A and B are shown apart, each in its own frame.
Chain A
């Protein structure tokens, strides 16, 4: 099972265009700003796997943006609370609440809604900014990433060795 997963990761990381890494960060931002165990995050993870983006950058981005989320969450929850209580939107929310699918998305959770709104709004600037930065510092960024401890730990793992042997 591990060898099969390593083969899959090799295929995923075969190409790492700047846009792919930038998109990984954008998606990571959305995941980090909302509660992890939610339906939209499952969809984003699925997207991260299907789209040819850098998964390492995605998981690193989730970890990094989670630190940022610790400061943003109270504001995100407040935003979600105000949106859910907004009289102009209440009918919409009520209509969505009657549907099991929408309720499964936890749209009526203040942090999910607020975090998702902030994440979606910030995703585009983050994508553009990331792409510009990647283009400018492509080589420095990859070198920096390879030096990261987590990358080294991953490389030292049995799983990475297996992945490397398969990749070679």
Chain B
């Protein structure tokens, strides 16, 4: 047995193991430092620098000293920097090449600190110029907004194509055309003189007895000729009446359109030049859109940066396992209370110093294999010690245990004393406000669905703009004391659609409405007056002539009636006239005889009465004598 054992081999093994361990400890620090700088720079797209990394054996772990992460969009500042980050490792998983950090403690984490040298990577230099150009263009756009001025009534009327002018020209052309047609039609219509002539001629023809049959025939012939002329006249009058009716109808329509045109013009100008409060409809998006967009862009930017290193869907992990060569083998995991994924940060406590106060960040279960760990990654940010915020909490859950994974962010901000928030339009600022914010964002399958509600109370605005628009905006905002802003984002995470709504629009509508009421009335009155002038220029001279048209209608009616009446007269039949005359003579003689008889009867009656009266007188006298 003794010949098979050599105890010196044990010593050799220990010595060699110690040498290997010593070499590892010697190079591990610089290797970790290099790894953080290389992979960190790729991830952040800007320089990531580490002062040093030291290893410790009890407890097993490492300490990162002086870590800075430059801002890829602002190379002269750091997104974050920290003094020390102490990581405590678990030994057993290290034998399997698995890095499981039991605790990570970070001291003096700061955001947005200044750098003395540029943190831009070389490849980024060219892109920065493009960003600078875009920023300049954006500022130019803002300056355009700041210089908004309302034009004068004359300017507006001069630059606009007015319906009033168009309708006026149409009206004039229509009148001229129809006037000509009516005049032509009237030339064939008999006038009063002609009608009088007709009457006289008819009287001659129809009065008196026919002297003879020839006389009758001659009159008959002349009457027929007259009737033919009456027929022509009636047709001429009917034609004239139709022409006149068409003219009146068409001209009335044109006149109606002309009279309505100034109103339409005013309406069109009003909406176009936003003289009403409707111009404030999108004001909240204008005021808060840029700020909200910046916040959202920043959040999405960092989400995209950090996401690949936080968690992967089970499907992605499975795909990676499949892609791995079969000869390499794989770990088969079983249910356990303490699983060992490839990388796991069990617990991280970070205290971040910001200008607004300290943020306490607690991260749990950050892993590269969530399906192995069986728990989602959770990050809690608490801002209870912030200067301007009563309480703030951000709860981030990255759940990629199953496919598709879901990332959820819940935000709650209570009593945020917001001060001097630059609204970016017309020099307007939200001087102070007490804000409550609730937000929820969910990312799944590369799609974002986010919604946040913010309630702004005790709002005080300030506007320093000099333009009319800025002054009016400032005065309108003065009346707003509280408002809500609702923001939502949906669609692909790389380019979601943002929507911003607020009851501020409604309030600004009212405030703008009040402020613009006088100016609107003044400008609209000027516009109205000028449009009325134009209207009168078109229809002023024609009003009387249109009256003539109406009068002419009555005249034609009378003339038609007269001609119809004249045309209705007929010449009596010769035989009938003779019979009538005989009958009239007989009746006349009978009447004379009757009159004579009646006279004789009356004389006899009078005589009888007289005699009766005399007898009565005599009787009275006799009676008197008796008494």
Contact = CB atoms under 8 A, between A and B. Distances in A.
B327 A93 contact: no
A38 B97 CA distance: 10
A15 B12 contact: no
Contacts of A38: 95
Contacts of A106: 96, 331
Nearest to B11: A8
A86 to B, nearest CB: 11
A18 interface: no
Interface string A1-37: 1001101110110010100100000000000000101
Given A8-B11, A8-B12, A74-B327, A108 B332 contact: yes
Nearest to B330: A110
A165 B196 CA distance: 164
Scoring A8, A11, A114 by chain B CB atoms within 10 A of each residue's CB, the highest score goes to A8
B19 interface: yes
B17 to A, nearest CB: 8
A8 B9 contact: yes
Interface stretch (B158-166, B241-249, B334-342): B334-342
A135 interface: no
Contacts of B332: 81, 84-85, 93, 108-110
A108 B331 contact: yes
Contacts of A4: 15
A58 B432 CA distance: 79
A140 B76 CA distance: 72
Q: Please name the 6 residue pairs, one residue from A and one from B, whose CB atoms are nearest each other, closest first.
A: A111-B329, A49-B9, A73-B327, A8-B12, A110-B329, A77-B329
Interface size class for chain A? 35 or more
30 contacts: A1-B15, A4-B15, A5-B15, A7-B8, A8-B11, A8-B12, A11-B6, A12-B8, A17-B3, A37-B95, A46-B10, A46-B13, A50-B6, A50-B13, A51-B9, A52-B3, A73-B327, A77-B328, A81-B330, A81-B332, A93-B332, A94-B335, A97-B333, A100-B92, A103-B340, A110-B332, A111-B327, A111-B329, A112-B329, A114-B329
Contacts of A20: 4
Contacts of B308: none
A115 to B, nearest CB: 8
Interface in A38-83: 38-39, 45-46, 48-52, 70, 73-74, 76-78, 80-81
A77 B330 CA distance: 8
B627 interface: no
Binding site secondary structure of chain A: helix
B326 interface: yes
Nearest to A19: B4
A97 B9 CA distance: 32
Interface in B16-63: 16, 19
Contacts of A84: 332
Contacts of A35: 329
Interface of B: 3-13, 15-16, 19, 92, 95-97, 326-337, 340
Contacts of A50: 5-7, 9-10, 13
Nearest to B339: A97
Contacts of A39: 95
Contacts of B96: 103-104, 106, 109
Given A37-B97, A39-B95, A104-B92, A109 B9 contact: no
Scoring B7, B12, B92, B329 by chain A CB atoms within 10 A of each residue's CB, the highest score goes to B329
A128 B498 CA distance: 76
B91 to A, nearest CB: 9
A109 B11 contact: no
A48 B6 CA distance: 10
B465 to A, nearest CB: 68
Contacts of A51: 4-6, 9
Contacts of B340: 103
B331 A12 contact: no
A12 B6 contact: yes
A54 B10 CA distance: 15
A46 B12 CA distance: 9
B331 A9 contact: no
Contact of B13 (A49, A52, A93): A49
Nearest to A108: B332
Given A48-B9, A110-B330, 14 more contacts: A8-B8, A20-B4, A45-B13, A50-B9, A77-B328, A77-B329, A81-B332, A90-B334, A93-B332, A97-B335, A98-B336, A98-B337, A109-B329, A110-B332
A26 to B, nearest CB: 14
A53 B257 CA distance: 116
B367 to A, nearest CB: 17
Contacts of B8: 7-8, 11-12
A35 B329 CA distance: 10
Nearest to A101: B92
A5 B329 contact: no
A91 to B, nearest CB: 10
Interface string A108-136: 11111010000000000000000000000
Contacts of B10: 46, 49-50
A100 B100 CA distance: 13
Contacts of A37: 95, 97
A81 B19 CA distance: 36
A52 B5 contact: yes
Given A8-B12, A46-B13, A49-B9, A15 B333 contact: no
A108 B13 contact: no
A90 B330 CA distance: 16
Contacts of A17: 3
B13 to A, nearest CB: 4
A15 B92 CA distance: 37
Contacts of B7: 50
B19 A1 contact: yes
A127 B337 CA distance: 42
Nearest to A8: B12
B331 A109 contact: yes
B330 A109 contact: yes
A14 B12 CA distance: 15
A74 B328 CA distance: 8
A111 to B, nearest CB: 3
